[in-house]
Chain A
Amino acid sequence: MKRGLLLAGLLTLFLGAPALAHFQMLYTPESALERGGAMTLKLIFTHPFDAGHTMDMAPVEEFYVVQQRGEEAEPQKIDLMEYLTEISWASLTNSGKAYEANLPAKVVRSMGDYVFVLVPGPYYEAADEEYIQQFTKMIVNVGGVPGNWHQPLGLPAEIVPLDKPYANWTGGIFRGVVMAEGKPVPHAELEVEYLNHAPNMEKNAFEKEAAIEAPHPSLEVLGIRANARGEFAIGLPKAGWWGIAALGVGPEDEHEGKGLAQEALLWIQVTDMP
């Protein structure tokens, strides 16, 4: 009898647990910088709302930045692979293989937009028996001169911003277009998640304290759909970083004999009005 109750209790807990989404983080504390300089980025494959299980990242396939100062300037692509070092990142439940990029001042020196792109190798999710690969973008601006923040880069899967990802007030909205191989993806499925535990850059760990508590699992990961033109809009109720993922929109669906979900991911930062 007791065993039956215990099993029922565990089953309830299991079924009641939210299915939090995998998000490839490409993190730096501030995306709207007054001045350029040396910068550290953390590359972590994790569950950002609850700082849950952090996955061992597969080796990075591509990591670069496309910089542009002004709308009429030519974009400059800079490969950043040489600045990557492997680290261990601690979530609240485990530690996983991640990467750190220490960029010298010469990389992020001039004014303008810096569109950082990370293409990690496919990660095998044993529970789903398939691979996941998230084409991740994070955009930094130096000095307020805009550039290429809204330009598609032609990635296999990509979220193209319609608002500057680094210039959003709390309470505003953010819009974007889901694209695959340069074309909008009608009715794409998206997940939106708040980075709820502050990353500690020194300790390579999430802080234990959560910024908010969601009253319902559906509010921990927001599930939305793009419209027929691949466009979406989300509200921005709280300052901090928000991750937006478009699920399974990339062209490849198989890797090493298993299924492959190619996803597009974009990080945006929200700022409180002083």
Chain B
Amino acid sequence: MKKFFVLALAFGFLALSGQSFAHTPLFSCFDNGDGTIFCEGGFSDGSSAAGVPIIVKNGSGKEIYRGELSRNSDIEFDKPEGEYSVTFDGGEGHDIVIPGSQIFE
């Protein structure tokens, strides 16, 4: 199936403004346009985000999916119905939350 990669990125470092780290976590998600969401993570020093937990919650805040970033620091999952958010769980002070409304085709 031909993927339709029109993008929308939401950048997690915006959510971390005001905090200071030696390496800043970075996270972005796209709507693939085929019913799936693609997310990728990383750090500002180029280190890997492999294994970082990714949590998808619905509009009520209930967890509906949990996975972790692959060896390539990315993950793909089915697009939830309705409101949702995606959390990059990088540990205390390193969480990044992207609302589904900022993940575009």
> Which residues of A pack against B, CB within 8 Å?
34-37, 69-73, 104-106, 109-112, 143-147
Would you call the interface of chain B mostly helix, strand, loop, or mixed?
A: loop
Q: Are B42 and A69 in contact (CB under 8 A)?
A: yes
Q: Which B35-76 residues have a C-beta within 8 angstroms of A?
A: 40, 42-49, 72-74
List of B residues within 8 angstroms of A37 by Cβ: 7
Contact with A36, one of B9, B43, B74 (Cβ below 8 angstroms) = B9
A109 with B47: in contact, given A37-B7, A69-B73 (CB under 8 Å)?
no
Q: Are A105 and B5 in contact (CB under 8 A)?
A: yes
Q: Are A109 and B30 in contact (CB under 8 A)?
A: yes
In angstroms, Cα B43 to Cα A122, docked, is 41
List of A residues within 8 angstroms of B73 by Cβ: 69-70, 73
Q: Are B26 and A144 in contact (CB under 8 A)?
A: yes
A143 with B72: in contact, given A34-B11, A72-B47 (CB under 8 Å)?
no
A143 with B28: in contact, given A36-B9, A105-B6 (CB under 8 Å)?
yes
List of B residues within 8 angstroms of A35 by Cβ: 7, 9, 11, 28
Q: Which B1-34 residues have a C-beta within 8 angstroms of A?
A: 3, 5-7, 9, 11, 13, 24, 26, 28, 30
Which residue, A37, A105, A111, has most C-beta atoms of chain B within 10 A?
A111
A147 with B40: in contact, given A70-B73, A73-B72, A105-B7 (CB under 8 Å)?
no
- Count class of interface residues, chain B: 20 to 34
13 A-B pairs within 8 Å (CB atoms) are namely: A36-B9, A70-B43, A70-B48, A70-B73, A73-B48, A73-B73, A105-B5, A106-B3, A111-B42, A143-B26, A145-B43, A145-B44, A147-B46
In angstroms, Cα B62 to Cα A186, docked, is 62
The minimal Cβ–Cβ distance linking B73 to chain A, given in whole angstroms, is 6
List of B residues within 8 angstroms of A69 by Cβ: 40, 42, 72-73
A70 with B46: in contact, given A105-B5, A144-B24 (CB under 8 Å)?
yes
Additional A-B contact list (10), CB under 8 Å, known A72-B48, A144-B44, A145-B42: A34-B11, A35-B28, A70-B49, A105-B6, A109-B5, A110-B74, A111-B26, A112-B42, A145-B26, A145-B44
The minimal Cβ–Cβ distance linking A23 to chain B, given in whole angstroms, is 30
List of A residues within 8 angstroms of B3 by Cβ: 106
In angstroms, Cα B7 to Cα A146, docked, is 20
Q: Are A111 and B46 in contact (CB under 8 A)?
A: no
The minimal Cβ–Cβ distance linking B12 to chain A, given in whole angstroms, is 9
Residue of B whose beta carbon sits closest to that of A110: B40
The minimal Cβ–Cβ distance linking A65 to chain B, given in whole angstroms, is 16
In angstroms, Cα B98 to Cα A35, docked, is 14
List of B residues within 8 angstroms of A109 by Cβ: 5, 7, 30
In angstroms, Cα B13 to Cα A73, docked, is 21
List of A residues within 8 angstroms of B44 by Cβ: 144-146
Q: Are A71 and B11 in contact (CB under 8 A)?
A: no
In angstroms, Cα B42 to Cα A36, docked, is 15
In angstroms, Cα B6 to Cα A109, docked, is 9
The minimal Cβ–Cβ distance linking B27 to chain A, given in whole angstroms, is 9
In angstroms, Cα B73 to Cα A112, docked, is 12
Q: Are B13 and A70 in contact (CB under 8 A)?
A: no
List of B residues within 8 angstroms of A36 by Cβ: 7, 9
In angstroms, Cα B24 to Cα A144, docked, is 9
Q: Are A106 and B5 in contact (CB under 8 A)?
A: yes
List of B residues within 8 angstroms of A105 by Cβ: 5-7
Q: Are B47 and A71 in contact (CB under 8 A)?
A: yes
Which residue, A36, A70, A73, A104, has most C-beta atoms of chain B within 10 A?
A70
